C-alpha cells in the first residue's frame, strides 16, 4: 500500500518569508496529490492539488511541485502571513483501493509577525 | 452553507457507553468517507460508501464500530462499548465519483471530537 512521509514536522517562519513542505510517496501508480490545511478545532481544508500529468501548479501564494521520478511533491507558500499558521497535510491515493487517501503526519507551520 | 456537516461537534462519554455521530455530505456527492484523527497525526481511513453501499472497511474498524448510509445521503457512525482508546476526532469527507472525473477530490467536514472518560 501507499506510504507517505512528510517533512518537516514543524516549521517556523517570519512573516513575509517562504515556507516549503516536502512529501514522498511509495506507490509509483499514484496520480493525484492533494494538500490540506487544518486549523485548530476544524476539519482539513483542501487548498491545492496536483495531477500526475503536470509538474507544477500555482494558486496565488501557494504552489505545488511534483517529481514523479523521485516520487516526491512539495508545497510552497510565498509571502507568508499570520493566517497561514496551521497544520498542513499532504496525501496520496491508495491505488489498490481507489479513493482512499493516505495522509502524511502533518507539518505545524507557525508564522511569526 | 453547502459544505460537509457533522453532528455533534463534541461528545464526552463514559467508557462502555454507545455513541453515534452523523455526517451530511455535500448534496450531489455520491461517495462518503469516515476517517479518524488522533492528536499530532494525519487522518486515518476507516470506511467509505458509494451511494448506500459500504465498499470497504479498514482493519482499524473493530466489531464495535458500525457505519450506515441508508439512503445514500447522510451517514451515521456508531461506536458501541466505547473505550478510552476511541478518543479521537472523527472526520467525514465526501466526493463526487463519475466516469468523467478520474481524480477524487475529498472535502472534509469539521469533525466530531470524542472524549471517552
Cell output for A46 = 483542501
CB burial readout B22-48, b (16+ within 10 A) else e = ebbbbeebbbbbbbbbeeeebbbbbbb
Reduced 3-state DSSP string for B9-78: CEEEECCCCCEEEEEECCCCCCEEEEEEECCCCCCEEEEEEECCEEEEECCCCCCCEEEECCCCCCEEEE
pLDDT under 50 in chain B at which residues?
A: none
CB contacts, 8 Å: A94 with chain B: 45
Q: pLDDT tens for residues A52-101? A: 888 899 999 999 999 999 999 999 999 999 999 999 999 998 865 557 88
Closest residue in B to A91 (Cα) is B42
* Local structure of A45: helix, strand or coil: strand
Are A105 and B41 within 8 A, CB to CB? yes
Question: What average pLDDT does the segment A99-107 reach?
Answer: 91
Amino acid at each position: 500500500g501507499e506510504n507517505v512521509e512528510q517533512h518537516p514536522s514543524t516549521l517556523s517562519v517570519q512573516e513575509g518569508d517562504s515556507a516549503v513542505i516536502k512529501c514522498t510517496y511509495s506507490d509509483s501508480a499514484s496520480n493525484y496529490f492533494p494538500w490540506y490545511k487544518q486549523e485548530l478545532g476544524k476539519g482539513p481544508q483542501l487548498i491545492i492539488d496536483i495531477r500526475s500529468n503536470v509538474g507544477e501548479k500555482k494558486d496565488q501564494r501557494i504552489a505545488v511541485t511534483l517529481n514523479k521520478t523521485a516520487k516526491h511533491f512539495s508545497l510552497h507558500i510565498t509571502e507568508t502571513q499570520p493566517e497561514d499558521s496551521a497544520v498542513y497535510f499532504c496525501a496520496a491515493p491508495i491505488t489498490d483501493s481507489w479513493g482512499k487517501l493516505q495522509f502524511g503526519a502533518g507539518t505545524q507551520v507557525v508564522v511569526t509577525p | 452553507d453547502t459544505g460537509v456537516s457533522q453532528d455533534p461537534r463534541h461528545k464526552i462519554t463514559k467508557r462502555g457507553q454507545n455513541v453515534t455521530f452523523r455526517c451530511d455530505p455535500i448534496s450531489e456527492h455520491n461517495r462518503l468517507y469516515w476517517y479518524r484523527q488522533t492528536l499530532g497525526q494525519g487522518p486515518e481511513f476507516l470506511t467509505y460508501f458509494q451511494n448506500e453501499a459500504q465498499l470497504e472497511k479498514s482493519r482499524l474498524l473493530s466489531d464495535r464500530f458500525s457505519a450506515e448510509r441508508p439512503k445514500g445521503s447522510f451517514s451515521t457512525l456508531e461506536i458501541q462499548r466505547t473505550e478510552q482508546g476511541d478518543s479521537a476526532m472523527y472526520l467525514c469527507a465526501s466526493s463526487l465519483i463519475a466516469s468523467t472525473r478520474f481524480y477524487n477530490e475529498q472535502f472534509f467536514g469539521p469533525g466530531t471530537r470524542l472524549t471517552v472518560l
